[in-house]
Amino acid sequence: MRLAVLASGTGSIYKAIVNADVEVAAVLVDRHCPAIDLARADNIPVLLVERHNFAKNFDRDNYSNDVVTALKEHNIEVVAMAGFGTILGAPFFDAYEGRVLNTHPSLLPSFPGWHAVPDALQHGVRVTGCTVHIATLEVDAGPILAQSPVEIRDDDDENSLHERIKLTERDLYPATIKAFLAQMETQR
């Protein structure tokens, strides 16, 4: 199964995936970012589908079609979101239905969305964690594949808690991707 990783930032999740010996066929980015240099250093093709519009009139479906076109040109079959900063539209999820994995810094269904870590702190929960799920058009609502808890400490702030969640994520996400790809192979 040909896997693409979608990234927008430092590439730390991408690097955890590669370091876990998951074969990555391409890295797609929506902006110039450090993930590009990491992928190039690993001799992984980089697909830049640059997002130029961040205004309210952004054409999400047109951009999503451009992403699908780039992925299809590289025969991508499965996608792993790795800190990708653009929420994609229906054309993307139609093309890759059931084959898009995402990681989220909470124990979904608790604290979906962009502010999961501060939300967990604000609500005073004692445990949060990391969830790997199938991404769907509805953000953070797809079927859960794996979860790992992270205790919230009395002295935690957003940064310290998020860093501990990332440590868990860097183990859980690659392991879940491997298991998912193996399952997809057996279903071929």
For 8-38, the pLDDT digits (tens) are 999 999 999 999 999 999 999 999 999 999 9
- Confidence band (pLDDT; 50, 70, 90) for 188? confident
pLDDT in tens, 94-131: 999 999 999 999 999 999 998 999 999 999 999 999 99
Which residues are catalytic, by number?
A: 104
Average pLDDT of the residues in 169-183: 97
pTM: predicted TM-score of the whole model, two decimal places: 0.94
**CA 169-3-72 angle, 5° bins:** 135
Average pLDDT over every residue of 42-60 = 96
Domains and CATH numbers, the chain: 1-97 (3.40.50.170)
Summarize the confidence of residues 131-136 as an average pLDDT: 98
Taking the C-alpha atoms of residue 4 and residue 1, their distance in angstroms, rounded to an integer, is 10
Question: What is the chain's alpha carbon radius of gyration, rounded to the nearest angstrom?
Answer: 16
